Amino acid sequence: KEYSDILDRRFHAQPIACNHCGPWYTLHEKGKTEENLEKIIGEACRLLEAGKIIAIKGLGGYHLACNPFDEKTVSTLRLRKSREGKPFALMVKDFETAKEYLLINPEEEKLLTGWRKPVVLLKIKKEFAPSISIGLNTVGAMLPYMPFHHLLFEKLKLPALVLTSGNLSDEPIVIDNTTALKKLGAVTEAVITYNRDIHNRTDDSVAFVANKKERVIRRSRSYAPSPIQLNFDAEGIFAAGAELVNCFCIGKGNQAIMSQHIGDLKNMETLEFYKESIQRHERLFRFRPQLAAMDMHPDYLSTNYVRQLDIPAVAIQHHHAHIASCMAENGISEKVIGISFDGTGYGTDGNIWGGEFMVCDYLDFDRKAHFEYIPQPGGDAVTKHPWRMMTAYLVHYFGENVLNEQTELFKNIDQKELEIVLFMLKNKINSPLTSSAGRLFDAVSALLGICRDTTYHAEAPMRLEAAAEAGLQGFYPFEITQNIISMKPAFEMMINELNNGESPGTISAKFHRTISEVIVDTVKRISHETGIRDVALSGGTFQNRIILEQAERQLASAGFDVYSHAHIPSNDGGIALGQLAIAAKKREVGEFFKR
């Protein structure tokens, strides 16, 4: 019936899915191959149940799979994949099994069981191997979405599998059989291929639920390249995106078409994937770039790519693009109070921004307030060593005597490294100034002893969020002087409470509440000055469920209309949409662009 009814989506489908016509699966194990599907399933189950690691070809690339209840196996996978700490995603047999192991509310159930089948971040109810999420209270889980997945779980005795991207370190996910056999075959006991080529590399999408709304944080399989409807013309505009968790965006009439998740543009392999994806979008959507939008940061690979296009281009401030992205997703054209909190973004004054309050529309922005500038010793090195940022905050607020007065705070820090950091701070060597909310979270995470050195991006803020005790209402004082937000009173109280034996979980909860209070207080001040009642929230910090939920609720209770992201990532994966929107509006008013 579905294939004969013209109104049914299957009427227009042209799949080949037949035991005789294909696709044909092949199991490669120890130099031997097996093409009988039942035997492939049986051998895959045997290997997985025996604690082995296998590679399985998926829809948009390969996955690495293993038993999530076997600590030795999961630790081995981390070692082989060169993934020291970042959490692994799981595939769970079915929804009933998911409910047994995970806490799932009705909105999360709808997201988990919907046709898109993203990885959904859920709170853990029943423990898996400790190395799955290493100390976090959440795990990313998805349900089977390919026929092979369902056939595998029919025979498998395990209720869930680790199913993580089939790549090594920070390289793009593997998509072709030859590369899989060479690269993934070297780190697995078996590789399962099929004979259809993957032309468009796509990772699994990732989402969570906050305030009963879906929040996409990695937009890829099943979401991209579904267009975003705009209330302005964006034809011919190419937006390059940022550096981390990159996505680019192209304009077709009144639609923005965002790419799938590309990844961090920090190596040649990912840059090649970026270029290849741009060419594919140009071909598929018959797109010819006439105007390019890029980040102001001079060293981003995405910015350098635009410079080579030889077309008119516009450089856009990072946090302005964040707010414009939120505005475009929500169809807002009027001026808003924009709050952009993230880890880093090049500011118009040459400093690192990231804790910003702006009044802006698509054409321009006015920076109304921001977190106090703090030196960032070693530049980007602080993201791998949050104790450096803690030291910078403490020395900035209390002077170098803090090392003698609060010796417990500097325990287990290498003294030679500490001396180098102090020298850098004192002499202003390689210590750019930052107003970043992300670096503030890093500092507090280190201060509480939760995370002093990291193994993956945003680990310190994630662990700080996970440590926070639920339901606490208190918060710490802060100061706002001439639109500069100082957290010195908060640090004084946090240190006092630590010295008096207060738990890190309690302090973390109060710190999160403090950030929400900073947001509401500052927004009220700006609104009193400007009369604006619309507030837009964007930036990677708003992936923090506690901050997002508290800020939305408190601002709404204060009478503001609050706009945030749902289907577009609030992190840098959504920034290209904002770049495109700003470029479109600037072109609309006749602004001149240089090549």
pLDDT at 595 over 80: no
d(CA 161, CA 237): 42
Measured in residues, the chain has a length of 595
**Percentage of residues in the chain with pLDDT exceeding 90?**
93
How do 89-92 and 102-103 pair as beta strands?
A: unpaired
* Residue labelled with tokens 């799932």: 104
pLDDT band of residue 8 (cuts 50, 70, 90) is: confident
Contact between 458 and 343 (Cβ < 8 Å):
yes
Cis peptide leading into 225, omega within 30 of 0? yes
CATH number of 374-514: 1.10.357.160
Give the pLDDT of residue 237: 98
Residues spanned by CATH 3.90.870.40 within the chain? Answer: 15-204
d(CA 105, CA 46): 34
Give the pLDDT of residue 14: 63
Closest among 589, 584, 530, 587 to 560, alpha carbons compared: 530
Range 203-211 average pLDDT:
98
* Residue labelled with tokens 């370190």: 169
pLDDT band of residue 372 (cuts 50, 70, 90) is: very high
Give the pLDDT of residue 552: 98
Residues spanned by CATH 1.10.357.160 within the chain? Answer: 374-514
Contact between 317 and 348 (Cβ < 8 Å):
yes
How many other CB atoms are found less than 10 A from the CB of residue 253?
11
Q: For residues 328 and 19, which has the higher predicted lDDT (pLDDT)?
A: 328
Range 308-334 average pLDDT:
97
The per-residue pLDDT for range 228-249, each reduced to its tens digit, is 999 999 999 999 999 999 999 9
Give the pLDDT of residue 297: 96
Q: In the numeric block, which tokens belong to residue 185?
A: 């075959």
Contact between 142 and 220 (Cβ < 8 Å):
no
Contact between 174 and 60 (Cβ < 8 Å):
no
Biggest CA–CA distance in the chain, Å, is: 80
The per-residue pLDDT for range 129-155, each reduced to its tens digit, is 999 999 899 999 999 999 999 999 999
pLDDT at 22 over 80: no
Cross-strand partners of 251? 256
Cis peptide leading into 23, omega within 30 of 0? yes
Average pLDDT over the chain reads 96
Q: In the numeric block, which tokens belong to residue 264?
A: 């961090």
pLDDT at 42 over 80: yes
pLDDT at 16 over 90: no
pLDDT band of residue 17 (cuts 50, 70, 90) is: low
Domain 15-204, architecture per CATH: Alpha-Beta Complex (3.90)
